Amino acid sequence: MKRNRSVKILATLGPASSEEHQIAELHKAGADVFRINMSHASHDLMRELVARIRRVEAQIGRPIGILADIQGPKLRVGKFKTDSVDLRIGQEFTLDDNEELGDETRVHLPHPEILEAVEVGHRLLIDDGRLFLECIETDGRRVKTRVLAGSKISNRKGVSLPDTTLKTGALTPKDRADLDAVLEADVDWVALSFIQRPEDMAEARKIAKGRALLMAKIEKPQAVQRLHEIIELSDAIMVARGDLGVEMPLEEVPGIQKRITRACRRAGKPVVVATQMLESMISAPVPTRAEVSDVSIAVFEGADAVMLSAESAAGSYPVEAVSTMDRIAVQVEKDPLYPGIIFAQRPEPEATGADAVSLAARQMAETLDVAVIVTYTATGTTGLRASRERPQVPLVALSPILRTARRLSIAWGLHCVVTEDAQDLDDMVDRACRIAVEQGYANAGQKLIVTAGVPLRQPGATNMLRIAYIGSDGLSAV
């Protein structure tokens, strides 16, 4: 199924979209990768969703990526005698290790790691920032705070800590169990929530052992401060604007989104923009004009993918949300300003042969009126190098490895095709010509560019570029 856009769409599965026919409809509407949220999915449901996606994949004959999103530490206060209490600005309120039900003066905080790490002056945000507290005294077992904003707190509300770095890692016991389960289910990507530091990614990488690629969700100020280190240890990044907008001033989030997007492009790693992109379509068949602009900005910035959460998981119009996002992306990429904006944001190539070949392929394609760039990739490295250049001609990634094609389905511009490994260089070029014609990206008489790493079947850097003419038989004419 040929897409008419380069940016990819992630769709979250949930109660509104979990059946096999619904998954097929979402893919037809434009979803390239499906997200399974482990905050809400049991291991059995996750395995069933993976099986349904794989059956849809087999029916349509196109590789589909699967992203499992690990919950991360959910920090919550305890319960109150009256379910909720009213507070007033300026009063003192304590969070402690006392398991008794809370009242107007205190509440149990069942997270000793918070009580030990919070310092005087640190902020504590309760219920997505609706209650704003500041620590005025702490002794490791209780945190005395002053109410700076908000007037109510109720049972089990979440706690955000924009100033505090917890000593514990980002993986809870539940996360470790979920990680083992999704790796056994052979998902393609694992998204890790509430990453604070590079060590969190290193810990997950030791567990994954290459069985899935790892995506760091940037949703905490501590992660923004160490962004480049986290990118280096990640395979991709997600701009998780929901929690990021709670723990940081809302007005800073758009700038951070641009910083993250450009940093990932420089590093040649996929970046996903997520959260509330078409939020109103949870209950309405059309989005707001502001939401349309929000999606378009991410596309103009050159993000690899944009994501739907509750819109496709629990909304009343999941297929319409995907098709709406598809139409927005297609229209943006047709805009006369789009090529210039993408070109202006292109990073300088690294001083490697692979980057030089990918740069040359993009420049030659745009200079010589080439129909398509076809890149052979076994591990995915060659495909990501080509994607990093953001060429203005289509990109087809050929791989003999289904897992590689599934993983690359999240990368900008890559139309992934699984094919048998080429026997030699001539077979490689002939195969590239034939598949480009079959997939609708080129016709007889047109030129295409082929890039690959040679010798064949040996993982390594991209080092070969060849221009080919497509003959009347659909094979190389030279």
* Residues annotated as part of the active site: 35, 76, 217, 275
Task: Kindly state the helix (H) or strand (E) to which residue 111 belongs, with its residue range.
Answer: none
Task: Kindly state the helix (H) or strand (E) to which residue 253 belongs, with its residue range.
Answer: helix 253-267
Please say whether the dihedral angle defined by the alpha carbons of residues 422, 427, 433 and 439, taken in this order, is positive or negative: negative
Collapse the DSSP code of 158 into the 3-class scheme (helix H, G, I; strand E, B; otherwise coil) and give the result: strand
Count of Cβ atoms closer than 10 Å to residue 324 Cβ? 24
Structure tokens at 162: 């924009």
- Residues contacting 353, CB < 8 A, separation 6+: 461, 462, 463
Burial class of residue 387 (count of CB atoms within 10 Å of its CB; 0-12, 13-18, 19+): buried
Bridge partners, residue 308, by sequence: 11
- Residues contacting 214, CB < 8 A, separation 6+: 189, 190, 192, 201, 204, 205, 208, 234, 235, 236
Bridge partners, residue 135, by sequence: 145
DSSP readout, 4-39?
S-SSEEEEE-STTT-SHHHHHHHHHHT--EEEEETT
Q: Output phi, psi for 282, to 5 deg.
A: -60, -35
Q: What does the chain come to in residues?
A: 478
Place of tokens 């990634």: 397
Calculate ∠ Cα 144-146-148, nearest 5°.
Answer: 150
Structure tokens at 140: 């490791």
Structure tokens at 294: 């929000």
Inter-axis angle of helices 318-334 and 20-29, nearest 10: 20
Cα–Cα distance for residue pair 171/378, rounded to 1 Å: 31
Letter for the amino acid at 408? L
Q: Output phi, psi for 113, to 5 deg.
A: -65, -30
Structure tokens at 381: 């490295």
Q: Output phi, psi for 311, to 5 deg.
A: -55, -40
Within a 13 Å sphere around the CA of 196, how many CA atoms are in the beta-carbon half? 15
Phi-psi region at 184: left, alpha or beta (left = phi > 0; alpha = psi -120 to 50): alpha
Please, are residues 240 and 218 in contact by the beta-carbon 8 Å criterion? Answer: yes
